Protein backbone atom coordinates (compact mmCIF):
# COMPACT_ATOMS: atom_id res chain seq x y z
CA UNK A 1 0.00 0.00 0.00
CA UNK A 2 1.14 3.49 -0.71
CA UNK A 3 0.31 7.00 0.41
CA UNK A 4 -1.41 7.44 3.76
CA UNK A 5 -2.44 3.82 4.05
CA UNK A 6 -0.97 1.81 6.94
CA UNK A 7 0.56 -1.55 6.41
CA UNK A 8 -0.74 -4.02 8.98
CA UNK A 9 0.81 -7.43 9.09
CA UNK A 10 -1.67 -10.28 8.79
CA UNK A 11 0.34 -11.94 11.60
CA UNK A 12 -0.37 -9.12 14.09
CA UNK A 13 -3.72 -10.34 15.38
CA UNK A 14 -2.57 -13.94 15.78
CA UNK A 15 0.81 -12.94 17.32
CA UNK A 16 -0.92 -10.47 19.66
CA UNK A 17 -3.43 -13.10 20.82
CA UNK A 18 -0.64 -15.60 21.49
CA UNK A 19 1.27 -13.08 23.61
CA UNK A 20 -1.86 -12.04 25.52
CA UNK A 21 -2.85 -15.69 26.01
CA UNK A 22 0.60 -16.58 27.35
CA UNK A 23 0.58 -13.58 29.71
CA UNK A 24 -2.86 -14.48 31.04
CA UNK A 25 -1.79 -18.08 31.54
CA UNK A 26 1.38 -17.07 33.45
CA UNK A 27 -0.45 -14.49 35.55
CA UNK A 28 -3.25 -16.94 36.18
CA UNK A 29 -0.82 -19.59 37.40
CA UNK A 30 0.75 -17.13 39.83
CA UNK A 31 -2.59 -15.76 40.98
CA UNK A 32 -3.97 -19.21 41.77
CA UNK A 33 -0.90 -20.33 43.70
CA UNK A 34 -1.57 -19.77 47.39
CA UNK A 35 1.29 -18.05 49.18
CA UNK A 36 3.20 -20.42 51.42
CA UNK A 37 4.98 -17.91 53.65
CA UNK A 38 4.19 -17.56 57.36
CA UNK A 39 3.00 -13.96 57.02
CA UNK A 40 0.19 -14.83 54.62
CA UNK A 41 -0.64 -18.07 56.49
CA UNK A 42 -1.41 -15.92 59.57
CA UNK A 43 -4.01 -14.04 57.54
CA UNK A 44 -5.53 -17.16 55.97
CA UNK A 45 -5.96 -18.68 59.46
CA UNK A 46 -8.42 -15.86 60.25
CA UNK A 47 -10.76 -16.76 57.37
CA UNK A 48 -14.22 -18.00 58.24
CA UNK A 49 -17.51 -16.82 59.73
CA UNK A 50 -17.42 -15.43 63.26
CA UNK A 51 -19.95 -14.28 65.83
CA UNK A 52 -18.65 -11.01 67.25
CA UNK A 53 -19.35 -8.91 70.30
CA UNK A 54 -18.34 -5.29 69.78
CA UNK A 55 -17.78 -2.80 72.58
CA UNK A 56 -17.53 0.88 71.58
CA UNK A 57 -16.29 3.68 73.84
CA UNK A 58 -16.69 6.98 71.98
CA UNK A 59 -14.33 8.94 74.24
CA UNK A 60 -12.39 8.61 77.50
CA UNK A 61 -14.87 8.17 80.34
CA UNK A 62 -17.82 7.62 77.96
CA UNK A 63 -20.14 4.71 78.67
CA UNK A 64 -19.61 1.47 76.79
CA UNK A 65 -21.97 0.61 73.95
CA UNK A 66 -22.11 -3.16 73.41
CA UNK A 67 -23.62 -4.86 70.38
CA UNK A 68 -23.36 -8.15 68.52
CA UNK A 69 -22.76 -8.90 64.87
CA UNK A 70 -21.25 -11.21 62.29
CA UNK A 71 -17.78 -11.11 60.76
CA UNK A 72 -17.06 -12.89 57.50
CA UNK A 73 -13.39 -13.10 56.53
CA UNK A 74 -12.53 -14.44 53.08
CA UNK A 75 -9.26 -14.84 51.16
CA UNK A 76 -8.69 -12.75 48.04
CA UNK A 77 -6.37 -13.48 45.09
CA UNK A 78 -5.34 -16.93 46.27
CA UNK A 79 -4.59 -15.72 49.80
CA UNK A 80 -2.51 -12.63 49.05
CA UNK A 81 -5.11 -10.57 50.93
CA UNK A 82 -8.10 -11.14 53.18
CA UNK A 83 -11.36 -9.21 53.21
CA UNK A 84 -13.43 -8.78 56.35
CA UNK A 85 -17.05 -7.68 56.46
CA UNK A 86 -18.62 -6.98 59.85
CA UNK A 87 -22.38 -6.40 60.01
CA UNK A 88 -24.42 -5.50 63.05
CA UNK A 89 -26.72 -2.96 64.69
CA UNK A 90 -25.55 0.17 66.51
CA UNK A 91 -28.01 2.42 68.34
CA UNK A 92 -30.89 0.76 66.49
CA UNK A 93 -29.40 1.24 63.01
CA UNK A 94 -27.58 -1.33 60.84
CA UNK A 95 -23.87 -0.80 60.20
CA UNK A 96 -21.23 -2.44 58.04
CA UNK A 97 -17.45 -2.24 58.13
CA UNK A 98 -15.13 -3.54 55.43
CA UNK A 99 -11.40 -4.09 55.62
CA UNK A 100 -8.74 -5.51 53.36
CA UNK A 101 -5.47 -6.73 54.85
CA UNK A 102 -2.34 -8.10 53.24
CA UNK A 103 1.36 -8.55 53.81
CA UNK A 104 3.56 -6.36 51.63
CA UNK A 105 6.63 -8.45 50.81
CA UNK A 106 8.56 -5.34 49.77
CA UNK A 107 8.11 -3.36 53.00
CA UNK A 108 7.77 -6.46 55.23
CA UNK A 109 4.70 -4.85 56.81
CA UNK A 110 1.07 -5.83 57.18
CA UNK A 111 -1.18 -3.23 55.54
CA UNK A 112 -4.90 -2.78 56.15
CA UNK A 113 -7.53 -0.43 54.76
CA UNK A 114 -10.77 0.05 56.69
CA UNK A 115 -14.04 1.78 55.83
CA UNK A 116 -17.43 1.85 57.55
CA UNK A 117 -21.01 2.85 56.83
CA UNK A 118 -20.97 5.11 59.91
CA UNK A 119 -18.58 7.82 58.62
CA UNK A 120 -16.75 9.06 55.52
CA UNK A 121 -13.15 8.32 56.51
CA UNK A 122 -10.78 5.65 55.25
CA UNK A 123 -8.25 4.31 57.73
CA UNK A 124 -4.96 2.94 56.36
CA UNK A 125 -2.94 1.01 58.94
CA UNK A 126 0.49 -0.60 58.78
CA UNK A 127 2.38 -2.74 61.23
CA UNK A 128 3.94 -6.04 62.12
CA UNK A 129 3.38 -9.33 63.91
CA UNK A 130 5.08 -9.56 67.30
CA UNK A 131 6.28 -13.16 67.65
CA UNK A 132 6.83 -12.93 71.43
CA UNK A 133 3.41 -11.41 72.16
CA UNK A 134 1.71 -13.51 69.46
CA UNK A 135 -0.20 -10.52 68.06
CA UNK A 136 -0.44 -8.06 65.22
CA UNK A 137 -0.01 -4.36 65.95
CA UNK A 138 -1.06 -1.89 63.24
CA UNK A 139 -0.99 1.90 63.45
CA UNK A 140 -2.68 4.74 61.58
CA UNK A 141 -3.00 8.51 61.60
CA UNK A 142 -5.95 10.21 59.94
CA UNK A 143 -7.93 13.47 60.01
CA UNK A 144 -11.32 13.21 61.73
CA UNK A 145 -13.66 15.69 63.44
CA UNK A 146 -11.23 18.58 62.99
CA UNK A 147 -8.21 16.84 64.54
CA UNK A 148 -5.54 14.26 63.74
CA UNK A 149 -6.46 10.92 65.25
CA UNK A 150 -4.02 8.16 66.12
CA UNK A 151 -5.16 4.55 66.04
CA UNK A 152 -3.31 1.49 67.28
CA UNK A 153 -5.01 -1.83 66.53
CA UNK A 154 -3.89 -5.00 68.30
CA UNK A 155 -5.13 -8.34 66.94
CA UNK A 156 -4.64 -11.38 69.17
CA UNK A 157 -5.41 -14.88 67.97
CA UNK A 158 -6.40 -16.65 71.19
CA UNK A 159 -6.98 -20.01 69.45
CA UNK A 160 -8.16 -21.29 66.08
CA UNK A 161 -11.70 -20.39 67.20
CA UNK A 162 -11.22 -17.14 69.16
CA UNK A 163 -9.71 -13.72 68.43
CA UNK A 164 -9.62 -10.41 70.26
CA UNK A 165 -9.18 -7.08 68.48
CA UNK A 166 -8.71 -3.78 70.31
CA UNK A 167 -8.39 -0.39 68.65
CA UNK A 168 -6.81 2.22 70.88
CA UNK A 169 -7.57 5.82 69.93
CA UNK A 170 -6.17 9.25 70.79
CA UNK A 171 -6.21 12.77 69.36
CA UNK A 172 -4.74 16.13 70.35
CA UNK A 173 -3.89 16.03 74.05
CA UNK A 174 -6.50 13.36 74.76
CA UNK A 175 -4.74 10.27 76.15
CA UNK A 176 -5.14 6.91 74.43
CA UNK A 177 -8.25 4.86 75.32
CA UNK A 178 -9.74 1.60 74.10
CA UNK A 179 -12.21 2.88 71.51
CA UNK A 180 -13.30 -0.49 70.10
CA UNK A 181 -13.00 -4.04 71.36
CA UNK A 182 -14.18 -6.96 69.24
CA UNK A 183 -14.42 -10.50 70.62
CA UNK A 184 -14.57 -13.16 67.89
CA UNK A 185 -15.94 -16.69 68.28
CA UNK A 186 -15.75 -18.90 65.19
CA UNK A 187 -19.07 -20.35 64.08
CA UNK A 188 -19.34 -24.12 64.00
CA UNK A 189 -19.06 -25.52 60.47
Give per-residue pLDDT as tens, 95-137.
999 999 999 999 999 999 999 999 999 999 999 999 999 999 9
| Per-residue model confidence (pLDDT) at position 27 | 45
182/69 Cα distance (integer angstroms) = 10
Confidence check: pLDDT of 161 > 70: yes
| Per-residue model confidence (pLDDT) at position 36 | 79
DSSP SS3 for 112: strand
CA-based angle 39:98:132, to the nearest 5?
30
Among 111, 101, 104, residue whose Cα is nearest residue 139: 111
Domains of the chain, earliest start first: 38-186 (2.40.128.20)
Q: What is the pLDDT of residues 77-90, one digit of tens each?
A: 999 999 999 999 99
Could you tell me which residue, 168 or 9, shows the higher pLDDT? 168
| Per-residue model confidence (pLDDT) at position 189 | 72
Q: How confident is the model at residue 7 (pLDDT cuts 50, 70, 90)?
A: very low
Average pLDDT, the chain: 86
Amino acid sequence: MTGGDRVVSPLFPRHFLCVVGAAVMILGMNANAAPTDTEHARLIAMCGTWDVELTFVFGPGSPEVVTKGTSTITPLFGGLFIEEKIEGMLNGAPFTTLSWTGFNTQTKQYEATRIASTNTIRIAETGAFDEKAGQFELKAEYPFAGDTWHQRTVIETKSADAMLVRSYLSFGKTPEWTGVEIRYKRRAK
